[in-house]
Every structure is written in C-alpha cells, then in structure tokens.
Amino acid sequence: MAPRVRLSLLDRSRTRTGEPDDAALRNSVARAIRAEDLGYHRFWVAEHHAVPGIASGSPPVLIAAAAAGTTRIRLGSGGVMLPNHQPLVVAEQFAMLESLFPGRIDLGVGRSPGFTPPVRRALRSDGADTFTDDLAELRAYLAGTAAITARPRLDREIPVFVLATGKGVAVAGDAGLPVVVGGPILDDAALPPMLDDYRDRVRDAGGTPHVIVSTDVLVADTAEEAYALALPEAWAMAVSRTIGEFPALEPADPGREMSDRQRATVERSVARTVHGTADSVAEQLDDVLTRTGADELLASSSTFDRAALADSDARLAELVARL
C-alpha cells in the first residue's frame, strides 16, 4: 500500500439547475465546516470568472467566509490565477487573510487565463506568459523584500503552492515550492520522471519537495451508484465541448440521449474520475499515490446530489485514514 498521505478538499462552488448561484457559495462554506469535522487537512476554493456553472470568482472572499465558520482546518486557493491579477493585490489579500486567521491560510497560484476570449478581454489579459516573473514578485511582497511593502506586514510566511501542468512543474521546482498536479497529466507516463526532476530542482533550490495530487473522487455503496454520481460533472464537460459554455450541474440521467461525440466525452470524463466502492477507490488511489509518490491528495469531487457528495466526502476520509 502507498504510505499514508494527507487528505484535502478542493471545492469549485458548482452551481445546480433550479438553484440561485448564492446557494453554491453557502454550500461551499457548509462543506468546509464538514471537512473540518471529518479531519481533512485543507479546504481550498477555486477561481473562475463568468462561468455559468461556477459561482466563485473571488477566492479570498470565499476563504474568509469559510475561515470564519471553522477553527482548525487550513483554508486556501486552488488557485488564484496570476494572469488575472497584479501580484501586489494578491499579496495584500492573503496577508489580510493570514492576519485575521493566523496559521491557517494557503496561497495556491496558477497560470490559466480566463475561460473564453470575452472573459480574457474583461480581465484585461493580453495573453503574455509572465507567470514566473509574477510568482517571484508575489513572493517578494509576501517576504517583505520587494521595493515596496505589502500591508499588513507579516512576521511569518504564507505557504505558496504552484498549480502546474507540463513546464509549470519545473517552475515550481526551481522556485523551491510545493506543486499541485491533476487532470489528464496524471495518466501520462511522463509524469513520474517529471516529478523526480521536480524533486531534484526543489532540493537544488534549498526547499523540501511536496507533491499534491488533485483528482475527482466519488465513493458510494456500489459501483453503479458511484458511476451515477460522476455523470453530472461528465455531462457538463460534454455540454461545454458542444456549445462552449460550462453549465450548472444537472441530475444524473443514465438514459440521456447523446451524440457519439458527447458520449465519448462523458465516458472519458468518468474514466478520469476515481469512483466506486470504498475498496475499489482505495485500490485506485493507492495506484495513483504510488506512481506519483504524492505527499497529499486533494480531492476535487462534485456531483448534483449534495447529500451524496457529503456522504462520499465522509467515506473518503475514512478510507484514506486506512491507506
């Protein structure tokens, strides 16, 4: 079996058909409270702008709400997308959070631009890749070594994590920072050697390697029930590939009429989700964690049925404690 790892949650504030967007935000906070009760190490929230299926466009605001409702669990971003922000503003926001909730704030950063060209224009994004420079500038503000001082000034560090695919893994390594990997790259045979290279780079930079694997995980009584839980997110992905708009979650409908292209997208999406009974999920996670040597699992699960999602979170916490 893989060595025991820390377990964390990434919540994307997914909207549901028939509900207002603000219900998704309130339920994100409620999920953070449950995650703390279940012993999860971190609870992170995402940043998406003008996406119909996701309510959270401002991680710092949602982190503050979740932190106010909890007492121990670490709260953070998975992640703040630096192309959308000035590094000084990000530093100020997270310094404020750390001042209000000391010792509990994480800052995960990524390089993804807005979801569509109109969103990128609204964010004033010119498409230039300045991530490495922006990351260095952000860290200088947080460390108090920049030409100007971000306020409030801190006498302690805020942990910074790099959300990475491809060359971003090397960027994290050269910066000596923890890295978060997820998505299709988890199935890439090139990932294990890429992570070995990352670990070498971190050590050369004087840091301590820390690999977080992020993947969708859904646990249920039967394989069929777990498959049904994975369908709403898979269908949303199929719709986005069809019309270019990522929709709110809909109830699972195994008998839904689909085009061949949509069905293929659904099956690929479900296949990339770790799902099944507790024993089956434990075996799948053991494989992922062993291949990657990950130090932490960041589960990014979502489904239409909130009660089933809460039950899955509880089952996941129980089975990871046994790994």
Provide the domain limits for residue 309. 6-219+275-320
Domain membership of residue 194 (yes or no) is yes
Domain membership of residue 65 (yes or no) is yes
For 302, left (φ over 0), alpha (ψ -120 to 50), or beta?
Answer: beta
pLDDT at 69: 98
Domain membership of residue 251 (yes or no) is no
List beta partners, residue 64: none
Domain membership of residue 262 (yes or no) is no
Domain membership of residue 183 (yes or no) is yes
Domain membership of residue 227 (yes or no) is no
Q: For residues 257 and 250, what is the distance between their CA atoms, to the nearest angstrom?
A: 14
Backbone φ, ψ for residue 207 (5° rounding): -105, 180
Strand, helix or coil for residue 227: helix
For 160, left (φ over 0), alpha (ψ -120 to 50), or beta?
Answer: beta
Domain membership of residue 115 (yes or no) is yes
The closest of 316, 323, 321, 253 to 34, measured between CA atoms, is 316
Estimate to the nearest angstrom the gap between the alpha carbon of 295 and the chain centroid.
15
pLDDT at 60: 97
The CB-based long-range contact list for 237-243 (8 Å cut-off, 24+ gap) reads 237/265, 237/266, 237/269, 238/262, 238/263, 238/265, 238/266, 238/269, 241/265
Q: Number of folded domains in the chain?
A: 1
pLDDT at 114: 66
Q: How many CB atoms lie within 10 A of CB 145?
A: 9
Domain membership of residue 198 (yes or no) is yes
The closest of 272, 276, 269, 273 to 223, measured between CA atoms, is 276
Each residue's pLDDT expressed in tens, for the chain with a length of 323 residues: 344 799 999 999 999 999 999 999 999 999 999 999 999 999 999 999 888 899 999 999 999 999 999 999 999 999 999 988 999 999 999 999 999 999 999 999 999 876 677 788 888 877 778 899 999 999 999 999 999 999 999 999 999 999 998 788 999 999 999 999 998 899 899 999 999 999 999 999 999 999 999 999 999 999 999 999 999 999 999 998 888 788 999 999 988 999 999 999 999 999 999 999 999 999 999 999 999 999 999 999 999 999 999 999 999 999 998 87
Give the domain CATH number at 133: 3.20.20.30
pLDDT at 242: 87
Residue 152 is classified by DSSP as S
Task: Tokens for 56, please give them.
Answer: 């959270």
Q: For residues 123 and 113, what is the distance between their CA atoms, to the nearest angstrom?
A: 9
Residue 303: CB partners within 8 Å, gap ≥ 6? 218, 229, 230, 232, 233, 249, 252, 309, 312
Q: For residues 81 and 135, what is the distance between their CA atoms, to the nearest angstrom?
A: 11
pLDDT at 128: 75
pLDDT at 126: 75
CB-CB contact of 108 with 75 (8 Å): no
Estimate to the nearest angstrom the gap between the alpha carbon of 289 and the chain centroid.
17
